[in-house]
């Protein structure tokens, strides 16, 4: 039986007027929450939104670059 390697990633999504405009991945929840707070301070609260999501990614897949 083959063992599978998984990494937990935290994904931050920025949505402007209902359209997803940016996505960033972070290895730690703390970093993702900090990025989300940074975005929230600069967004239009009536039309824009952010979200943080935890995902499991195959550890054998290439690395992720940050947007912000």
Burial class (CB in 10 A: 0-12, 13-18, 19+), 14: buried
Return d(Cα 18, Cα 4) in angstroms, integer.
Answer: 36
5-46 pLDDT, tens digit each: 678 899 999 999 999 999 999 999 999 999 999 999 988 889
47-64 pLDDT, tens digit each: 999 999 999 877 666 555
Residue ranges per structural domain of the chain: 6-54
Question: For the range 36-42, what are the long-range contacts, defined as Cβ-Cβ under 8 Å and sequence gap of 24 or more?
Answer: 36/12, 38/68, 39/12, 39/14, 39/68
């Amino acid at each position: 039986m083959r063992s599978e390697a998984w990494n937990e990633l935290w994904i931050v999504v920025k949505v402007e007027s209902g359209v997803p405009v940016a996505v960033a991945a972070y290895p730690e929840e703390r970093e993702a929450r900090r990025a989300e707070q940074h975005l929230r301070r600069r967004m239009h609260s009536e039309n824009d939104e952010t979200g943080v999501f935890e995902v499991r990614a195959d550890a054998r897949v290439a690395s992720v670059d940050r947007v912000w």
